[in-house]
Amino acid sequence: MSEKIGIIDSGIGGFTLLNELFSRSYFCQYYYISDNENVPYGTKSQLFMLQRVRLMVNKLKQKKIQTIVIACNTLTAETIEQLREEFHELNFIGIEPYLNYFNKNEICNNKKMALILTEATYKSLRFTKLRKRVDPTQKILTYPLANLASLIEGMESRHCIENLKQEIDTELAFLHSSNIDYLILGCTHYTIIKKYIEKTYDLQTLDPNKEVVDRIVQVAALAKSTDCNSFYYNPNLSHDWQCLSLTNINIFTKLFRTYGN
Ligand code: DGL
């Protein structure tokens, strides 16, 4: 029997993690659930997020899933502690802004670093504690962004790419003049356009997806396999799960091609 992994995000951001999982070929069934009608979560309250994420966890529980990845920095910041208390029979793996990288890696020592993240993550107690612990002198410049996750979520339906690029640039304009060497992507949606950000602002991006996947493999004891993975998708907390092949998902065929991920 193959393992089952549940993946939760507000919208399409968690696909970046799923993409990393798929590329490593494990014997696994993936169940991806999101709340596309309510994305973005970065502008919502903690209470709202808790109510929505409980519904998503319960949907995954009905599928007898043991390991759930909260593939969303915002939901991790605002809900993971509560979820671990309420659903103690399940394993939760979260994702957090990659501040640890700063201490672990000498290359970054003399470099200018910045972090972008959602407003809710920025204001959360969990992030405040993480920052105090890992970057107490606040060397990493930190920029909460109000609109970037929504722009990325809506990319698929935009006809004029030039307009979209302009809107993205309005959000990220500070990068033109700030001489940042490394930009930490503190929201899984941002990783979708990481190549675009690197080219446009001439910097390197960092995200923890590889480390999070290492952790998933360890917690769920995933085994390698040449068999096809199965992938079930539920974008609106509906009753039905669609069984898809990853190549059928628009964001991979269209967005990743356009933005060169
Ligand atoms: N993808 C999410 C994150 O990593 C949430 C973005 C949002 O819904 O605002 O923070």
pLDDT digits (tens, 9 = 90+) for 5-18: 999 999 999 999 98
CA–chain centroid gap for 10, Å, is 9
Distance 242 CA to ligand 1 centre (A): 23
CA distances in angstroms from 160 to 31, 154, 156, 182, listed in the order given: 32, 12, 11, 29
User: pLDDT at position 108, please?
Assistant: 66
Same domain, 182 and 223: no
Q: Which atom of ligand 1 sits closest to the CA of residue 14? A: 1
Q: Which atom of ligand 1 sits closest to the CA of residue 121? A: 10
Q: Which CATH number does the domain housing residue 233 bear? A: 3.40.50.1860
Three-state SS at 163 = helix
| Residues in the chain, overall count | 261
Are 213 and 24 within 8 A, CB to CB?
yes
Q: How many domains are contained in the chain?
A: 2
Same domain, 77 and 9: yes
Average pLDDT, the chain: 89
Q: Which atom of ligand 1 sits closest to the CA of residue 189? A: 1
Residue 72 is a catalytic residue: yes
- 236: which DSSP letter? B
User: pLDDT at position 159, please?
Assistant: 75
Average pLDDT over residues 16-23: 87
Same domain, 165 and 191: yes
Same domain, 41 and 11: yes
Same domain, 122 and 201: yes
pLDDT at residue 104 greater than cutoff 50: yes
Residue 187 is a catalytic residue: yes
Same domain, 162 and 224: no
Rounded CA-CA distance 50/99 in Å is: 25
Distance 209 CA to ligand 1 centre (A): 14
User: pLDDT at position 243, please?
Assistant: 87
Handedness of CA 177, 178, 182, 184 (dihedral sign): negative
Distance 119 CA to ligand 1 centre (A): 10
Residue that has been written with the tokens 């808790």 in this structure: 50
Same domain, 160 and 175: yes
Using 50, 70 and 90 to split pLDDT, how confident is the model at 59?
very high
Same domain, 108 and 198: yes
Rounded CA-CA distance 35/55 in Å is: 10
Three-state SS at 88 = coil
Q: How many CB atoms lie within 10 A of CB 143?
A: 18
Q: Which atom of ligand 1 sits closest to the CA of residue 72? A: 4
Distance 225 CA to ligand 1 centre (A): 31
User: pLDDT at position 253, please?
Assistant: 47
pTM assigned to the model: 0.93
Using 50, 70 and 90 to split pLDDT, how confident is the model at 261?
very low
Same domain, 199 and 238: no
Residue that has been written with the tokens 């972008």 in this structure: 116
pLDDT digits (tens, 9 = 90+) for 182-231: 999 999 999 999 999 999 999 999 999 999 999 999 999 998 887 767 88
Using 50, 70 and 90 to split pLDDT, how confident is the model at 152?
very high
Q: Which among 28, 72, 108, 160 is annotated as catalytic?
A: 72
| Domain of residue 230, residue span | 3-95+209-258
Indicate the Cα dihedral angle 225, 226, 227, 233, nearest 10°: 80
Ligand 1: which of 34, 43, 56, 73 to mutate, judged by most atoms within 8 Å of the beta carbon? 73
Q: Which among 28, 108, 160, 187 is annotated as catalytic?
A: 187
Token duo for residue 101: 């990288």
Distance 167 CA to ligand 1 centre (A): 18
Same domain, 81 and 158: no
Residues with CB under 6 A from ligand 1: 9-11, 13, 39-42, 72-74, 118, 121, 149, 187-189
Using 50, 70 and 90 to split pLDDT, how confident is the model at 156?
confident
pLDDT digits (tens, 9 = 90+) for 72-101: 999 999 999 999 999 999 999 999 998 877
Same domain, 176 and 226: no
Same domain, 120 and 157: yes
Of the candidates 206, 225, 243, which is a domain's last residue? 206
pLDDT digits (tens, 9 = 90+) for 235-250: 998 888 988 876 655 4
